[in-house]
Amino acid sequence: MRRKLAAGNWKMNGTAADLTEVKALIAANPTPTVDLLLCPPATLLSRMSDITKDSAIATGGQDCHMNGKGAHTGDISAAMLKDAGATYVILGHSERRADHGETDAIVHAKSEAAISGGLIAVICIGETLDERESGATLGVVETQLSGSVPATATAANTVIAYEPVWAIGTGKIPTLEQIAEVHAHIRTLLVTRFGEEGQGMRVLYGGSVKPSNATEIFAVEDVDGALVGGASLKAADFGPIITALENA
């Protein structure tokens, strides 16, 4: 059985004052039956990790460089993330692909670096609205999955996050049938390439997951949890999503 994962991506949000939300989340979820993850901006990672170290909540980075060190101003290595308390890192998020021109090859190299550095890579894939409307979704997902996920990926060190780009932060949600189709396709691709390891890899759904729609999304086969954006910033919003996943 794949253990469910509720992951929160704070993106470029949060200052020290917002760490009270983490304390509230810990208090409300002392013994969760699913894995919990929060990925804050780098400025908060060490402080958040100090708060969560004796709790069930793991922390992660939002990106890491493909090199271990060097002249890369503004970048952070996997070793630095781990030193700050992280055990996970999000890679290839659609906003990184769009805003920073990250290709599948770059995501692949970063994923290799993260895995080699002892982090669990949360590798993101997903189609744009134009790709969805042109019927290219499954092909796009297959290309990104093949190009972004390294051969070193295992069920223990890799999580896949399917995020339809057109649904992120827009309030638009694919139908349950569309989510099921893509997740089933991803599972088939993972099993074909990795065998039993592919069967064990968790596949998260990410795209405007909220307390109001979490229950029905988590009921879809092969949805092993969620990568949540804005709703993870507040314990009052993220908590019901966690509960929905525990009850799925």
108 part of the active site: no
Which member of 108, 127, 163, 185 is catalytic? 163
- Burial class of residue 40 in the structure, from the number of CB atoms within 10 Å of its CB (0-12 exposed, 13-18 middle, 19+ buried): buried
65 part of the active site: no
**DSSP per-residue codes, 1-35:** -PPPEEEEE--S---GGGHHHHHHHHHH-SS-SSE
Cβ–Cβ < 8 Å for 65, 80: no
Of 220, 235, 226, the C-alpha closest to 181 is: 220
Other CB atoms within a 10 A radius of the CB of residue 221 amount to 9
Which member of 93, 108, 183, 185 is catalytic? 93
Show which residues are catalytic.
93, 163
